[in-house]
Amino acid sequence: MKFLVTGTAGFIGFHVAKRLLADHHQVTGIDGMTPYYDVTLKERRHAILGEQAGFAAHRVMLEDAAALAEIYQRAQPDIVVHLAAQAGVRYSLTNPRAYIDSNLIGTFNVIELARSRVPAHLLIASTSSVYGANTEMPFAETDQADTQLTLYAATKKATEMMAHSYAHLWKIPTTMFRFFSVYGPWGRPDMALFKFVQAMLKDEPIDVYNNGKMDRDFTYIDDLVEAIVRLAGKAPVVGEPAGKADSLSPVAPFRIVNIGGGQMTPLLDFIAEIEAALGKKSIRNYMPMQMGDVPRTDASTELLETLIGFRPKTPVAHGVREFVAWYRDYYRA
């Protein structure tokens, strides 16, 4: 099949494209190579993908509607996986415009292309951050989620609503993913695991927010990719819900799906696994809660398991070891 994947030089997009190519699909990749973090890392990911038959890379910003349209018409994709976005909760406090440009305008451009030539399935990345101030656990896709705490989360919720309206108006089969704390090899330098490992190898202190009283539903990258690949073949159909937990819209071929393991890991336990993988103790700088952050995340996996018979289950200890092994090899650390 022919896939169009945005964000292929990014952490998740790279792994998704790599898997699709291994499964002998054609992948047209789009990435703007923005300098939010080390562009060299992004270029290396694209270089690896470029070694595979069936991959075509395009360095284009999502805001460039004309360039996107040209690529889309040439690619004629069967399935579109939109993963590119301005990521990061805390960066949205200092550079909010980047989130408007990439997440709102960029996503609008992608779904406009889907309207021009409707794919068999349009899949778009959202985030667990849209649950915001919700306190009932686990987070379920059918929960009301209107209390986002950062602009990043607000833009992602907005893209969900934008996509729903297009799914309704133009009958575009659409699935939104809500990702939960994705980690693993080739991860982003702004994420906790990367920052902790980097600091600990230099014998520098790590910042532990909310005095360590935090829990996260960590999702290993290979599990996330498996879920995305399986969901690609599960396009929503109006009037065909997958059980009581389904978020399927009553008026559009549209649903929202959590991709998480449904198991919370305390932050201090996560740090302990990093220490075990590195064979050294951390120097901890205990800090208050950061603006816009939440103390806990926990995904309901009922819908995901109903749809594809799978949920993320890689133990954190294994996932952390895999990341540390990659980091040491990549940075010769």
Characterize 116-126 residue by residue with b for buried, 16 or more Cβ atoms within 10 angstroms of its Cβ, and e for exposed. eeebebbbbbb
Contacts of 152 (CB under 8 A, 6+ apart): 86, 87, 88, 89, 91, 92, 99, 103, 127, 129
Q: Rounded to 5 degrees, what angle do the CA atoms 242, 247, 249 make?
A: 100
Residue tagged 């667990």 (tokens): 128
Name the nearest CA neighbour of 4 among 70, 60, 88, 71: 71
Phi, psi of 206 (to 5 degrees): -110, 145
CA gyration radius, the chain = 19
The token pair that represents 43 in the structure block? 């270029």
Catalytic residue ranges: 152
Q: How far is CA 168 from CA 161, 182, 249, in A?
A: 11, 30, 9
